[in-house]
Chain A
Amino acid sequence: MPAPDVLIRARGLAKSFGGAVAVAGIDFDLHRGEAFGFLGPNGAGKSSTMRMIGCVSPPSGGELTILGLDPVADGPAIRARLGVVPQEDTLDVELTVRENLLIYGRYFGLPREVIAERTARLLEFVQLTDRAADQVDPLSGGMKRRLTIARSLINEPEILLLDEPTTGLDPQARHAVWDRLYRLKQQGVTLVLTTHYMDEAEQLCDRLVVMDRGKIAAEGSPRDLIGRYSTPEVLELRFDPAEHQQAADKLAELASPPGADGGAPALGPARPAQALAERLEVLADRVLLYTRDGDAALAAARGLGLEPVTFLVRRSTLEDVFLRLTGRQLED
């Protein structure tokens, strides 16, 4: 029996479609009250995992227990306690905002008075009260997303599943959605979300897994993952294209051990402090130095007689972790 605060438990969970493997055996536990993220490029298996958790996709292998129940046998009972915000909106655009919530509340078998009371509260929460009687079709993308979130809360779910909740939204709308999700988290709702936005994962997730090609490549808190797979700071240097390669070769001296070029760096604990850069990555247009101290690295680069056209010293982000773990190649 899993511990009482484990809401979802997966062991060796797998999903394949015909011959194509989408999820290749993953293990994770979701604890009550946490915000848990699946981070990964397109095609990494995030949405397939979410659909299995949502009990609309029977696993091909492994174990999955949700709220102590079996998703294949007890789908309706589990779904009654889940809220789902799908990747693409599935609102009925010909109905009004309020009717969408009414329909959804009925799907969960809620009495009319309960639906009316929750509708008023939820529309207030997502700031759509004044649009309650309007048709959904003309609403903006951000409003539709917020309505979808309100709809997913109509049954007061124990777990809220969000599949790329802010993909396709403009920055204002994204922040509005994050703000609502953060409040839900504060209220103790357990969140599971997928995203390929690093800032979203850093803002919202207590704990996350990085997925790549159907597997879990790393697991931890955002801070933890940055500490393990990147350096505190990153120095980005851009040189004149004619000098780019030459500069990169020189900079390699700053990284230890000498000659490390970022091609296949060994993962591991931080190297001795005397190295100015732990790792060097040469891109087509930039050279990235992963370092404890970006300004010191910049000074050292100048000491080698290099003068970049532009430079940027920044803190390491999850994006650096993500790209290191999942590579820079475009996934189809």
Chain B
Amino acid sequence: MTWSFAVREFRYWLTNYRRTWRGSIYSSMLNPLLYLGAMGIGLGTLVDAHGTARLGGLSYLAFLAPGLLAAAAMQAGVEESTYPVLGSVKWRRTYYAATASPLRPADLFHGHLMFTVMRLTMNSAIFLAVMAAFGAIASPWALAALPAAVLTGLAFAAPVEAWAITVTKDASFALIFRFGMIPLFLFSGTFFPITQLPAWLRPLAYLTPLWHGVALCRSLTLGTASAGGALAHVIYLAAVAAVSIAAGNRSYRRRLYV
């Protein structure tokens, strides 16, 4: 019963998405093309010319690409969980329409997360295809980087969505983009190994879900994953998602049932 209610909300988002899916596919192709072209090849040629011993002898492109894959999943997860959620409760008010049906607040939350997972899967699959085209994939384990990237995105989407339903102004989102997403993007091992960070900052990086996502995706596209290491990352990311879903069940209810 519970699932079928959430699926009804998922299908609402699908119907809505029918109008915009083409554009969204172009932009999910453009993003990796630009980043891998500019940083992987443009900057990468410079980096590689100076030797990449600190990257373990990898080309910069091969090092960077999986990091960007995880970071793009984070970004897509956060975007999907901010404006669409506030819009549903404040501008279009469609959440109020749905709460007058048998659906409960948690069903709306889960239905939207299902849609987010679908979008993350599409985005990450396109990203991986572009990576393959750039020759940035070194192992067939890269196939497992798809669910890994989706899990990374979900570990951001779930907490952000649980919080976004409590927000009343979209200005709040600018704060988490600027002070949350951008620092994570830059300092979670995406562009350089976090061993380059000052020693006191490293534990902080280990706490961020993005570092786990980057490390996991990288170990898979390079084929260097160890079972124990990969499992630890998966457990960490899944735990963040699970705790956030529990919190979101509560925050959705508090916002929509007053």
Contacts and interface: CB of A to CB of B under 8 A. Distances in A.
Given A92-B92, A106-B8, A82 B100 contact: yes
Interface string B19-48: 100000000000000000000000000000
Interface in B180-198: none
Q: How large is the interface on A (under 10, 10 to 19, 20 to 34, 35 or more residues)?
A: 20 to 34
A133 B30 CA distance: 33
Contact of A90 (B5, B15, B16, B94): B94
A102 B11 CA distance: 10
Nearest to B100: A84
B98 A107 contact: yes
Nearest to A155: B101
Contact of A56 (B8, B11, B257): B257
Contact of B16 (A17, A56, A89, A95): A95
A79 B100 contact: yes
A90 B96 contact: yes
A95 B96 contact: no
Interface in B225-258: 256-258
A56 B256 contact: yes
Interface string B82-125: 00000000001110111111111000000000000000000000
A160 to B, nearest CB: 11
Contacts of A155: 101
Interface string A276-311: 000000000000000000000000000000000000
Contact of B15 (A75, A99, A108): A99
Nearest to A93: B92
Nearest to A81: B102
Contacts, number: 71
B100 A92 contact: no
B129 to A, nearest CB: 30
B92 A108 contact: no
A91 interface: yes
A44 to B, nearest CB: 18
Interface in A89-140: 89-95, 99, 102-104, 106-109
Contact of B19 (A94, A108, A109, A151): A94
Nearest to A108: B101
A37 interface: no
Contacts of A75: 102, 104
Q: Choose among A51, A58, A92, A152 the residue with the greatest number of B CB atoms under 10 Å from its CB.
A: A92
Nearest to B12: A103
B19 to A, nearest CB: 7
B97 A91 contact: yes
Contact of B102 (A79, A86, A92): A79
Given A92-B16, A92-B92, A103-B15, A76 B102 contact: yes
A17 B257 CA distance: 12
Contacts of B11: 103, 106
Contact of B257 (A57, A99, A108, A152): A57
Contacts of B99: 56
Nearest to A58: B257
B52 interface: no
Nearest to A48: B258
A92 B94 contact: yes
7 contacts: A75-B102, A84-B100, A86-B97, A86-B100, A94-B16, A102-B15, A109-B102
Interface of A: 17, 51, 54, 56-58, 75-77, 79-80, 82, 84, 86, 88-95, 99, 102-104, 106-109, 151-152, 155
Q: Which 10 A-B pairs have the closest CB atoms?
A: A107-B101, A90-B97, A84-B100, A76-B102, A90-B93, A80-B102, A90-B96, A56-B99, A79-B102, A103-B12
Interface of B: 4-5, 8-9, 11-12, 15-16, 19, 92-94, 96-104, 256-258
